Structure 1
């Protein structure tokens, strides 16, 4: 390789670097990014004050005020329709039955579920998360669960997304309450 070939190679290399550098400067002038004053995204999270400990006493206003969901459920139940609830519950019929002595499907039979223990009995193999939650199915518990099952009982096997409309949930709860030996 003689010196002329080396000069051609270096000329091409230098020319390429100059073209890339000029292209970079032009692109920066055309597409100048606008940097925000405060980097990042604002995420609104409702923060609840931490209790001062197990011995912390609730304020007087806390004792008098009931949780909003309990009050609103009670008010909603006054106007609820078990007939509408039966219609809405038809979308649950793919996995559940509602008649007395009905078979279990993908989910348990829901006849007389209100006031029953959660995650036990009914001849159904409940998920570990449902068994661990324990307690009984009160009207308020059903309301919270039906709103978003996966959020209320993380790890539940129920793949249903939930019923976001309060009125529909209340109608379903009225239907479940009526659908019992002791409504």
Structure 2
């Protein structure tokens, strides 16, 4: 699912992508009035947990409170990285950066994936990167020409991780994953 904001004229900007298992709106525990909205980008199941239950768990178990705090910090760091990419990155780099981020997030704590399903439309990719769907198409073609990434039938194949990281200026530190100096590559199907 995606978190998004929308202008009065109806233009949408995705400000985050939540994967299965993410707590998509944890900030609402301390700020019940939302600053954005959630959008199902694929078939989505949402489990709602009452704020009072989350507050009670955090009060009773300090480690849970710390995990919630860390989750919100990573969410904020990710939003800051997306803002930097939209404000300063070129279109090809923005898409490359998103592919790197998704590879890291799909891979888990100590690895990244060079193949994964990303069932987003070009319009949704445009909403995530702040470019037009036509420019997404051109940028994806450029990534393919550079032999870095191909997307076919909503399946991402990263062919040159180091090249993609270099092109997009990707540094995974903002994701706060336990990856050490260099994550292990795993060629897993989604």
Same fold per superposition (TM over 0.5): no
User: What is the TM-score when the length of structure 2 is the normalising length?
Assistant: 0.22
Q: Highest CA radius of gyration, 1 or 2?
A: 1
User: What is the TM-score when the length of structure 1 is the normalising length?
Assistant: 0.23
